[in-house]
Amino acid sequence: MATTSNPIAYTRVTAQPAGSKAHEHMVPMRDGVRLASDVYLSEPSVAPGPTILIRLPYDKNGAYTYIPHIADYMVTRGYRVVAQDVRGKFRSEGETVMWIHEAHDGYDTIEWIIGQEWSDGVVGMWGDSYYGFTQLAAASTAHPALRALSPRVTGTRLGQLPEAGKRVSEVLKGVHRLYPSTHFQSHDTYEWDMDWSRRPFADTVERWFATIGERSASYDLMTSESILADPFPDGHPFDAPAVPILQTIGWWDNCASWQWADHALIAARPDWSRCEYLLLEDIDHENNRFSGRPLRDDEHPVTNGAFRAAVLPQLLDPALEFFDVFLRGIGDPADIPRVRWRVAGEPELHTSDCWPPSGTRVQSLFALHERLMDEAGPDTSVAEWVHDPGDPVPSPVGNAFEFLREYPEEGALARREDVLAFDAAPAQAPLLLLGPVSLRATISSSGPEMDLFARLVDVDEQGTAHLIARGELTLHDATRPTGVRVDLGHVAYRLAAGHRLRLTLSSSDFPEFVPAPGTGADRWLTSDFEINRQTVRLGGFAGATLMITVEP
Give the tens place of pLDDT for each residue, 26-59. 999 999 999 999 999 999 889 999 999 999 999 9
Q: Which fold, 361-550? A: Jelly Rolls (2.60.120)
DSSP 69-109: HHHHHHHHTT-EEEEEEPTTSTT--S---SSTTHHHHHHHH
pLDDT at 376: 87
pLDDT at 60: 97
Sign of the torsion formed by the C-alpha atoms of 210, 216, 221 and 227: negative
Closest CA to 79 of 115, 124, 112: 124
* pLDDT for residue 378 is more than 90: no
The better pLDDT of the pair 75, 296 is held by: 75
Q: If pLDDT is split at 50, 70 and 90, which confidence band does 301 have?
A: low
Amino acid (one-letter) located at 339: V
Give the tens place of pLDDT for each residue, 247-275. 999 999 999 999 999 999 999 999 999 99
Q: What is the mean predicted confidence (pLDDT) over 186-210?
A: 96
What's the Cα-to-Cα distance from 116 to each of 39, 50, 70, rounded to whole Å?
A: 11, 11, 22
Angle formed at CA 293 by CA 323 and CA 297, multiple of 5 degrees: 90
Contacts of 341 (CB under 8 A, 6+ apart): 278, 279, 280, 349, 350, 351, 352, 355, 357, 492
d(Cα 281, Cα 153) in Å, to the nearest integer? 10
Do residues 253 and 283 touch, judged by C-beta distance below 8 A?
Answer: yes
Do residues 442 and 450 touch, judged by C-beta distance below 8 A?
Answer: no
Mean pLDDT of the chain: 94
Domain extents for the chain? 10-160+229-352, 361-550
* pLDDT for residue 313 is more than 70: yes
Distance of CA 430 to the CA centre of its chain: 29
Q: What percent of the chain has pLDDT over 90?
A: 89
pLDDT at 4: 64
pLDDT at 320: 98
Give the tens place of pLDDT for each residue, 413-456. 999 999 999 999 999 999 999 999 999 999 999 999 999 999 99
* pLDDT for residue 400 is more than 80: yes
pLDDT at 297: 65
Buried b / exposed e along 295-314 (16+ C-beta atoms within 10 A): eeeebebeeeeebbeebbee
Quick count: other Cβ atoms within 10 Å of Cβ 378?
A: 7
385 phi and psi, to 5 degrees? -150, 165
What's the Cα-to-Cα distance from 420 to each of 379, 386, 470, 503, 506, rounded to whole Å?
A: 19, 10, 15, 8, 7
pLDDT at 524: 95
Give the tens place of pLDDT for each residue, 462-479. 999 999 999 999 999 999
Amino acid (one-letter) located at 311: V
Q: If pLDDT is split at 50, 70 and 90, which confidence band does 540 have?
A: confident
Lowest mean pLDDT among 15-19, 307-311, 382-386: 307-311
Terminal alpha carbon distance of the chain: 63
Q: What is the mean predicted confidence (pLDDT) over 309-337?
A: 94
Amino acid (one-letter) located at 459: V
Q: What is the mean predicted confidence (pLDDT) over 348-371?
A: 96
* pLDDT for residue 226 is more than 60: no
* pLDDT for residue 298 is more than 80: no
* pLDDT for residue 152 is more than 90: yes
Q: What is the mean predicted confidence (pLDDT) over 185-201?
A: 96
Q: If pLDDT is split at 50, 70 and 90, which confidence band does 221 have?
A: confident
3-class DSSP assignment, residue 210: helix
Q: If pLDDT is split at 50, 70 and 90, which confidence band does 302 have?
A: low
**CA 297, 302, 303, 309: dihedral to nearest 10 degrees?**
90
DSSP structure class, residue 411: G
* pLDDT for residue 234 is more than 90: yes
pLDDT at 300: 67
Q: If pLDDT is split at 50, 70 and 90, which confidence band does 19 have?
A: confident
Q: What is the mean predicted confidence (pLDDT) over 379-408?
A: 95
pLDDT at 115: 98
- Count the residues in the chain: 552
d(Cα 303, Cα 275) in Å, to the nearest integer? 37
- The CATH homologous superfamily for domain 10-160+229-352 is Alpha/Beta hydrolase fold, catalytic domain (3.40.50.1820)
d(Cα 366, Cα 85) in Å, to the nearest integer? 50
